């Protein structure tokens, strides 16, 4: 099969199209003929040498794919969605997505939502699994002290994670605010359901969210920046509020006021998803199928695909990712390899 490999750690041009043996699925896994792959920030970190795949996982980058099941192990007792060979699916994987074929645990495969193309479906798993796991499972949006009227602030609202978090939370009835780095990106966030998007280059997000919530603050903050942002985010939280960290783009260290955490019952948590168990990810898949897939099929949530590259142009896709010019997802099309 054709695949895109990391020839050495470095700049985007270390990504090269090559030939690799087609992977063989193990027990509980299926083989997918890949139509499209998503490009995500962790792929960039892996390319640079700072985010190695878990033991036993392909060294090829790529955490999400969509395509057709063409083989593998389908245990009917552990097949909640009734999938079979020939079905179109999208899947979260721990690596190996930049290829014409990929293996995925059956429990991490979801049927392509009705009305969506494979390309659109491939843009879903990494961000949807991540948002559901962190915003709704770890941070418990809607189940804290603010109850069903809780509010969410999404840092980096124009990213793939950001547009997903905005849309899911808005569709489920929560007030959502977001930050972005330009006025145009802010308008894009608002078009997706953010009540107010804040240009972090010209506005203070703490002041804005406090004003929007009558000085109460927000209940949950989804943060991929970390570093010095965390101290400011504590000030933007309501009593009983939660910050959930999913990346450290702004640095892994920062000073915080512990007394504020104690006095106002605040929580700082975080997680990474890649190394979690198949069983854990399968439960997320079940939640998404039950609670989010209907919203996709009704058109209340829509994939946001910014640009599609032929698979051979993975280097160009990574360069775009690092420029942060995009709003939404960047994709690789395996029907257009050249």
pLDDT digits (tens, 9 = 90+) for 49-67: 999 999 999 999 999 999 9
- State percent of the chain over pLDDT 70: 100
Dist. CA 175–CA 166, nearest whole Å: 9
Query: What pLDDT is recorded for position 338?
Result: 66
User: In order of start, what are the domains of the chain with their CATH numbers?
Assistant: 2-124+276-333 (3.90.180.10), 129-270 (3.40.50.720)
pLDDT digits (tens, 9 = 90+) for 89-112: 999 999 999 999 999 999 999 999
Helix (DSSP H) and strand (DSSP E) numbers for the chain: 11, 15
**Mean per-residue pLDDT, 273-283:** 94
Quick check: helix, strand or coil at residue 148? helix
Dist. CA 79–CA 282, nearest whole Å: 10
DSSP 30-87: EEEEEEEEEE-HHHHHHHHTSSPPPTTS-SS--SEEEEEEEEE---GGG-TT---TT-
Token pair 């972090």 in the structure block, residue: 200
User: Which stretch, 98-102, 258-262, 270-274, has highest mean pLDDT?
Assistant: 98-102
* Dihedral-angle region of residue 169 (phi above 0 means left; psi in -120 to 50 means alpha; beta otherwise): alpha
- 157: nearest Cα among 177, 134, 139: 177
pLDDT digits (tens, 9 = 90+) for 298-310: 999 999 999 999 9
Query: What pLDDT is recorded for position 76?
Result: 79
| β-pair type (151-154, 175-180) | parallel
Query: What pLDDT is recorded for position 16?
Result: 98
């Amino acid at each position: 099969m054709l695949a895109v490999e990391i020839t050495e750690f470095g700049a985007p041009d270390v990504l090269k199209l090559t030939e690799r043996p087609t992977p063989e699925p193990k027990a509980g896994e299926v083989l997918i003929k890949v139509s499209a792959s998503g490009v995500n920030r962790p792929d960039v970190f892996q390319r640079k040498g700072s985010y190695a795949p878990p033991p036993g996982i392909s060294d090829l980058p790529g955490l999400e794919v969509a395509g057709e099941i063409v083989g593998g192990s389908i245990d009917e007792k552990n097949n909640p969605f009734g999938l079979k060979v020939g079905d179109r699916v999208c899947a979260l994987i721990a690596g190996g997505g930049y290829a014409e074929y990929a293996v995925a645990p059956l429990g991490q495969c979801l049927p392509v939502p009705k009305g969506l193309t494979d390309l659109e479906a491939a843009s879903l798993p990494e961000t949807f699994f991540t948002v559901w796991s962190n915003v709704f499972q770890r941070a418990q949006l809607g189940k804290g002290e603010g109850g069903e009227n809780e509010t969410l602030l999404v840092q980096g609202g124009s990213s793939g994670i950001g547009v997903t978090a905005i849309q899911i939370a808005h569709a489920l009835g929560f007030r959502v605010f977001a930050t972005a780095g330009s006025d145009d990106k802010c308008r894009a966030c608002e078009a997706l359901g953010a009540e107010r998007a804040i240009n972090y280059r010209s506005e203070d997000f703490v002041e804005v969210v406090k004003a929007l919530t009558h000085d109460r603050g927000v209940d949950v903050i989804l943060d991929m920046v970390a570093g010095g942002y965390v101290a400011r985010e504590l000030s933007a939280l309501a009593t009983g509020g939660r910050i959930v960290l999913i990346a450290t783009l702004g640095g892994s260290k920062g000073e915080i006021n512990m007394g504020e955490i104690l006095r106002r019952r605040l929580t700082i948590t975080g997680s990474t998803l890649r190394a979690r168990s198949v069983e854990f990810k399968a439960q997320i898949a079940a939640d998404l199928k039950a609670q989010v897939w209907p919203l996709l099929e009704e058109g209340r949530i829509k994939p946001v695909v910014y640009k599609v590259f032929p698979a051979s142009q993975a280097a160009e896709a990574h360069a775009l990712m690092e420029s942060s010019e995009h709003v939404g997802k960047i994709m690789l099309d395996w029907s257009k390899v050249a």
